Chain A
Amino acid sequence: MAKSIDVSDLNIYYGDFLAVEGVNMTVKARSVTAFIGPSGCGKSTFLRSLNRMHEVIPGARVEGKVVVDGQSLYDPSVDPVAVRRQIGMVFQRPNPFPTMSIYDNVLAGKRLNAKKVKKSEADALVEKSLRGANLWSEVKDRLDKPGMGLSGGQQQRLCIARAIAVEPEVLLMDEPCSALDPISTSAIEDLIHELKSDYTIVIVTHNMQQAARVSDDTGFFNLKATGEPGHLVEFNPTKKMFTAPDNDATEAYISGRFG
């Protein structure tokens, strides 16, 4: 189910503004890849270009190639809606659908894909997804209550359950813990460890300890200079990044000397 991602010479624009320039990388299947870097260097922008969410912003476009297991995502014959069904996304701020119950939130994506879902199947899927997101025991008695009634950390895990309910091949997470308290954060980090066995995970984080804890590979993004586009400075196994990075700028950023 999990797939690898090959990115080559990717330039990402907002209208005429080049936000991210010349990214090359390979994200391995069944691994966790983390992106770090100062804010505004294009981590979110790059992440959103991996499931064609970038282009929902008016004027936004991409040059270059993103290949998921041999299939080029930006090929004219590829339907962006189909891409997003295979590559799920969790956002910085938890965003359960406010008018839906917990149960319906989990099923939201499945109902898009399969139209009619049998009750027994639906129940099983809701339980499996909520268990997968480590949320089942906390909400199993109030599945029909609104998702908005949960705490921030629970809402974020609900969003993860919603994303994995459609069994995507890749899961993208954009600073999924930045709005959460430490306990919820650690719950989500544990979850990322477990999900790794089934999914390819790409996570943006502003927290370097988190990148060190959860990821196998790390990419460091930076701005060449203020006003210049962001770019990928270094991409290496996390162990190497945090002990002996190839690039001086990476070392400086990681050891907290700038950024």
Chain B
Amino acid sequence: MNLTTTEPAEVSDTLSGGSQRGDRVFHGLAFAAGASIMVALAGVFIFLAIRGAAGFSAATGLYQPYTSFVPYAAGLLFGTALVAVLAMIIAVPFAVGVALFLTHYAPRPLSTVIAYLIDLLAAVPSVVFGLWGLKALGPALLPIQRWLNEHLGFIPFFAGEVSATGRTVFLAAIVLAIMVLPITTAICREVFGQTPRLHEEAALALGATRWEMIRYAVLPHSRSGIIAGTMLGLGRALGETMAVLLVLNASGPKITWHLLTSDNPATIASNIAQNFQGENIDLQVVLLATGLVLFVFTFLVNFAARWVVIRSERKFQ
């Protein structure tokens, strides 16, 4: 989506004529790259729309446990958004804290090492996260899930009967939070590090402690960056398939706020992965239609994010 127009970079050797040709070639390449992204996006959309169109009004039996497309897709969308939003609620404070530590507290060598380790986290395949969540983190978190249910069970989120396997929305959200941490942290780290020295010193010279300086200079400067990092993470969490499939014991589309039970809402992506292998061609069409819903939803989330970023930037210009 990034259509970049390039400025003429070299003016000095216009006499040779070569650089102008180079400019034109580069301009053409940049334009082609930008255009091909648009084409790919449009291609995906058209594919989903054409192949999935019939899925909006298929035989009622395909929309188990509902009977039509809208509640079916709504249930899946609910599960998708619930898991992803919970993941971001967990991940964002962590990412902001870690990024602040790396840019403003840790000594340089330590911060380089930690930043590298966090970036490595992004290289772990999601199926590995899924297996780890299933086999290691899930059992480890069981006591915590029981404790939450016992002591905070009066809050609807923690009510109901605790899952014996621990494969709950709660676990899925935590695994997703760990998976989106690298991207959100990386973006926060980038913008925190770009806080103008001028404003940091303005705060320090007034007698701000380090934390006060962060509140006065770093966070206001970084607000739109934090939003951008959150939205990129959210985008990843919304579409994550393999890890959710492994970690979440989903029982199809449904709307429930209980995070700790064994009766969990499926997400669009995990629902597709789970059911697409079957023989039922008609069901595949319905799943393609839900894919279209996810595609459009992710798109809208990104547009909303951009709008928020632009608005908060304009406010103070």
Contact = CB atoms under 8 A, between A and B. Distances in A.
A58 B209 CA distance: 16
A233 interface: no
A148 B316 contact: yes
Interface stretch (B1-9, B114-122, B200-208): B200-208
Given A95-B198, A95-B199, A148-B316, A81 B207 contact: yes
Contacts of A100: 220
Given A53-B201, A97-B216, A98-B220, A166 B316 contact: no
A229 to B, nearest CB: 23
A113 B207 contact: yes
A84 B316 CA distance: 28
Contacts of B206: 84-85, 88, 108-109, 112, 162-163, 166
Contact of A95 (B202, B207, B212): B202
Given A108-B216, A166-B206, A95 B316 contact: no
Contacts of A109: 206-207
Contact of B208 (A81, A83, A93, A159): A81
A95 B205 CA distance: 11
A97 B198 contact: no
Contacts of A58: 108
Interface in B46-79: none
Contact of B205 (A89, A93, A99): A89
A51 interface: yes
B316 A91 contact: no
Judged by DSSP, the binding face of B is helix
B207 to A, nearest CB: 3
A84 B216 contact: no
Nearest to A146: B316
B248 interface: no
Given A85-B207, A98-B221, A113-B207, A56 B201 contact: yes
Interface of A: 51, 53, 56, 58, 81-86, 88-89, 91, 93, 95-100, 108-109, 112-113, 146, 148, 159, 162-163, 166
Given A81-B207, A91-B201, 9 more contacts: A82-B207, A84-B204, A88-B205, A96-B202, A98-B199, A113-B207, A146-B316, A148-B316, A162-B206
For the complex of A and B, 10 pairs with smallest distance between CB atoms: A85-B207, A109-B206, A99-B220, A89-B205, A84-B207, A95-B202, A95-B198, A99-B316, A146-B316, A81-B207
6 contacts: A53-B205, A56-B201, A84-B204, A84-B207, A95-B202, A97-B220
Interface of B: 108, 198-199, 201-209, 212, 216-217, 220-221, 223, 316-317
